Structure 1
Amino acid sequence: MDPPIPESIREQLGHPVLVRRLDSSPRSEVFLLEFGGRPAIVKHITSGPDRTERYQIEVAALRLAGRVEPRPVAALLATDATARVLVLEYLGGARAATEPWAVRYATALARLHSTPLSAGGAEIPRYRGPGPDDVEAFLRLARRLGVTVPPSAETELMAALERLADSGDEVLLHGDPCPDNAVATDEGIRFVDLEGARRGPGVLELAYLRIGFPTCWCVKALPCAQLTAAENAYRDTRRSPASGIEDACVSWLIQGDALVERARRRGADHLAQLPSRDWEWGTATARERLLHRLSVVAALAGDHGPLAATATLTSEMESAVKRQWPRLSALPATNDDPLTDPGLRPNHCA
């Protein structure tokens, strides 16, 4: 299928020559083209009732983040709102890096989160995280696993969500900062596919490194030393303490939507399905994702006074999951890019 290149874009960039079609989500088409002999990526947002909104969000996010130096996103070369087509710079392969992938990823994420929002971006909505229904669904799962819920657990979980919402840290979030949306270049990692961009606390995406890339098919765990170095690189680059990692991890733990791919989110209680069935998604099953997140929150909350009951709850849920499904594997660990590095032996970080 030939890419739909509107006349307005042809007038700006010249005659397009198709190189090949690239993998993309079911709701868009992505192509590698050449304009005047120079490669570029063309993205056509094709389907979904929110396709116009997604196009507007991505254009706004790319324009805002494109003002940051070093740039944390692919440069936006041309757009056509009627056709919902974006043309972006082609990001070529990078030379061998001297820093671990996780550190380069966290640095790029911090640059993205440093995007000044005062310059515009009214099209970018605020992040909508889990709420009371998600807390109730998580506690129902605990009871179905045979775990006694501490009386103060519900209050603690709601308080964690409220602390995130009231943190005052409103940044440009990517919305889906997965390894396959993070392209290595000689200038550092650059992000693509920002149609899910939101305004919200940066720690929600910093938590991806610790909680295991919760919205991604390529979920993997990081060695402890790399995790620490990456989180330090993020805080140094943003020049911010980026506090609240415990609350952010709690937020990802209780989200059933973070157990399925984007097309299946919103509309079902995925946590309720776990006792009766498991399903594969990428590099881990849903139960394996849950097990990893429980272990992360249990370790973090144990050192965090406001989450004392949550630490007890998640620790007991972790033990119950292991007893009920003893053949579950820990997330594969990675020493490098999660997309290319083979899974290593199980990894646990406190």
Structure 2
Amino acid sequence: MTVDASSTDDSTVGAGEELLAIEAAVAAAESVLAHRFGSAITLVDAEELAGSGPAVVVRARVSSSPFALPRTLVIKHYPGAPGAGEADPFAQEAASYQLFTALPPDDRTCPELLAHDAGQRVLVIEDLGRAPTLEDKLCGSDARAAETALLSWARSLGRLHFSTASREADFNALLRRLGGRARNVEGSGSRTGVGDSTDTTPVVACAQLPTLLQETLGVTTSEPARAAAERAAEQSRSASYRAFSPVDLWPDNNLVTAEGVRFLDFERGRVRSALVDAAHLRVPFATSPGALALPPGMSEAMVAAWRAEVAELWPALADDDELSAHLLDAELLLVWLTTWELLPTLAGVREAARTSRPAALVTRWRELSVHAERDGDADVAEHAAAVAAALDARFGPGLELALYPAFR
């Protein structure tokens, strides 16, 4: 086993800890590969890859193997076990990759799982190479390339939903086998549980946001607007339109390959309402920390690309009015949830920038008002417009979320 230390500063304690973490990941990968294939496999030139989750992520080259393995592999090692009552990101990710690896190759929208071990908490997956992420495309200078990547992302999301819509029992069985829990529980957080049939976060958020809006912004929530949000929360937990979701629908969690966009990072992967995912086409990357805006018409084109992939599975969504009603409910819930999560963290913010979270909230509520008015829901439209105006007065004025650099 050889570790590439070129990216570390071994004069620091932190660098030494990183090297130990990389070495542990590679050793675990060699062990699980040997068990999987029945012969020693040597990995060299290991380099740590950037990641925001709890796993140590490493790319390593296969130096010697009697088997036809890819030239390089990606290792995800979860050295720490979850706390009591917490969801296990290793189990979520391993079950997710197992679910997709069991599909025909044409139906996979992620790398192939080559080996895993629950005891060592390690995954070895196919290396898709140094392809750019969707984030790279959005932050580049080529608007056409960014648009193409976004449409590919929407189509891949639709294919993911189409291929997993009937596999909830399979996923839950895989998760239980790995020691994970097949359902979220109260308090798991909306970013991980929206659309989960037993997660109560949407209901809690819809109950608490009106008070938060009143106390923070002086906006009163009408009973019809409150009822619409509660209805949306209940619908997100229904048995309809369920499919697998990566949950963290962030642009840096996707690789743009020659075969289309491929999803990475299933640490919170689960089965939930696909309409919750589809809402992220209208409110792009809403849960991503640095989400920016897309140009006019882009979200509509993404929704159309997604619908083209799922209409055969869910024929009702081929009807424009039916789809629009579902998307408005999902968008409403997503905007309420993200506001409930973010607004309490913004108490000290004054005169926010156009790339800030306050600007994102203003734009999301403003667009929700436009969509609700277009769909004939005057109560939701009026409430959303009032919240947008109050947010702009509090953090602006004149706030509007900036476009991703590729579209400026």
Q: What's the TM-score, normalizing by structure 2?
A: 0.72
- For the Cα contact (< 8 Å) 1:169–1:202, is it kept in 2? yes
1:140–1:99 Cα change, 3 Å: closer
- For the Cα contact (< 8 Å) 2:243–2:274, is it kept in 1? yes
Partners of 1:88 and 1:258 in 2: CA distance = 36
After superposition, the CA RMSD in angstroms is 3.0
Q: 1:125 and 2:183 equivalent?
A: yes
Percent identity over paired residues: 24
1:250–1:118 Cα change, 3 Å: closer
- For the Cα contact (< 8 Å) 1:93–1:184, is it kept in 2? no
Partners of 1:282 and 1:197 in 2: CA distance = 32
Q: How far has the Cα of 1:117 moved from its partner?
A: 0.6
Q: For residues 223-244 of structure 1, give each alpha carbon's deviation from its aligned partner in whole angstroms, at most 9, with x where no partner exists.
A: 2232222111111112242831
- For the Cα contact (< 8 Å) 2:48–2:58, is it kept in 1? yes
Q: How far has the Cα of 1:167 moved from its partner?
A: 5.8
Consecutive aligned runs of 4 or more in structure 1 exceeding 6 Å deviation: 95-99
Residue 278 (structure 1) aligns with: 349
Equivalent residue for 2:335, pick from 253, 262, 268: 253
Paired residues in the alignment total 326
Q: 1:332 and 2:359 equivalent?
A: no
Partners of 1:205 and 1:73 in 2: CA distance = 17
1:308–1:167 Cα change, 3 Å: farther
Equivalent residue for 2:264, pick from 192, 207, 220: 192
Q: 1:143 and 2:176 equivalent?
A: no
SS in structure 1 at match of 2:88 = helix
1:283–1:326 Cα change, 3 Å: closer
- For the Cα contact (< 8 Å) 1:102–1:227, is it kept in 2? no
Partners of 1:46 and 1:53 in 2: CA distance = 12
Q: How far has the Cα of 1:211 moved from its partner?
A: 1.0
Residue 267 (structure 1) aligns with: none
Q: 1:8 and 2:56 equivalent?
A: no
SS in structure 2 at match of 1:148 = coil
Partners of 2:363 and 2:111 in 1: CA distance = 32
Partners of 2:283 and 2:200 in 1: CA distance = 16
Q: How far has the Cα of 1:257 moved from its partner?
A: 7.9
Q: For residues 297-316 of structure 1, give each alpha carbon's deviation from its aligned partner in whole angstroms, at most 9, with x where no partner exists.
A: 111222334x4322111101
Q: 1:18 and 2:90 equivalent?
A: no
Q: 1:159 and 2:231 equivalent?
A: yes
- Within 5 Å, which residues of 2 pair with 1:46-85? 46-47=79-80, 48-49=82-83, 53-66=88-101, 67-68=103-104, 69-85=106-122
Q: For residues 223-278 of structure 1, give each alpha carbon's deviation from its aligned partner in whole angstroms, at most 9, with x where no partner exists.
A: 2232222111111112242831111111211224885xxxxxxxxxx43344x323
SS in structure 1 at match of 2:171 = coil
Residue 149 (structure 2) aligns with: 101
- For the Cα contact (< 8 Å) 2:206–2:226, is it kept in 1? yes
Partners of 2:113 and 2:48 in 1: CA distance = 19
1:130–1:158 Cα change, 3 Å: same
- For the Cα contact (< 8 Å) 2:282–2:303, is it kept in 1? no
Q: How far has the Cα of 1:93 moved from its partner?
A: 4.6
SS in structure 2 at match of 1:136 = helix
Residue 204 (structure 1) aligns with: 276
- For the Cα contact (< 8 Å) 2:248–2:287, is it kept in 1? yes
Partners of 1:212 and 1:97 in 2: CA distance = 17
The structure with the largest helix share of the pair is 2
Instruction: Tell which deviates more after alignment, 154-163 or 18-27.
Output: 18-27
SS in structure 1 at match of 2:374 = coil
1:81–1:139 Cα change, 3 Å: same
Partners of 2:279 and 2:296 in 1: CA distance = 14
- For the Cα contact (< 8 Å) 1:332–1:343, is it kept in 2? no
1:186–1:60 Cα change, 3 Å: same
Residue 181 (structure 1) aligns with: 253
- Amino acid corresponding to residue 327 of structure 2 in structure 1: I
Q: How far has the Cα of 1:31 moved from its partner?
A: 0.6
Partners of 2:332 and 2:147 in 1: CA distance = 29
1:169–1:20 Cα change, 3 Å: same
1:91–1:249 Cα change, 3 Å: same
Instruction: Tell which deviates more after alignment, 52-61 or 291-300.
Output: 52-61
Residue 27 (structure 1) aligns with: 54
Residue 304 (structure 1) aligns with: 375
Q: How far has the Cα of 1:129 moved from its partner?
A: 6.2
Residue 113 (structure 1) aligns with: 161
In structure 2, runs of 5+ residues without a counterpart are 1-18, 65-70, 133-143, 176-181, 185-195
